[in-house]
Amino acid sequence: MNSGKCVGCLLCQLSCSLQTANEFSAGLSLIRIYRNPVGEQFNISFAENCDNCFVCVTHCTYGALELD
């Protein structure tokens, strides 16, 4: 996870909520993107019940989420 590369596209949240809840909703997503006002950056966090399906990783095209 490299939050410095996050551009705020939220495709991780959108794909996660569709995968987990069959709907588009930030509230139902197990990954959340928060704005860090310092330096205009974003923070990334995962819910405890995230089951590591990696759908968020496959939808991140900016290199903020990558598998080793």
Q: What whole-number distance in Å separates Cα of residue 39 and Cα of residue 50?
A: 28
57 binds other proteins (CB under 8 A): no
40 binds other proteins (CB under 8 A): yes
Applying CB under 8 A, among 21, 47, 53, 66 the residue interacting with other proteins is 21
63 binds other proteins (CB under 8 A): no
8 binds other proteins (CB under 8 A): yes
Applying CB under 8 A, among 1, 20, 25, 31 the residue interacting with other proteins is 25
Q: Hey, how many other C-beta atoms are within 10 angstroms of the C-beta on 18?
A: 16
53 binds other proteins (CB under 8 A): no
Please provide residue 11's backbone torsions phi and psi, each rounded to the nearest 5 degrees. Answer: -65, -25
Max CA pair span of the chain? 34
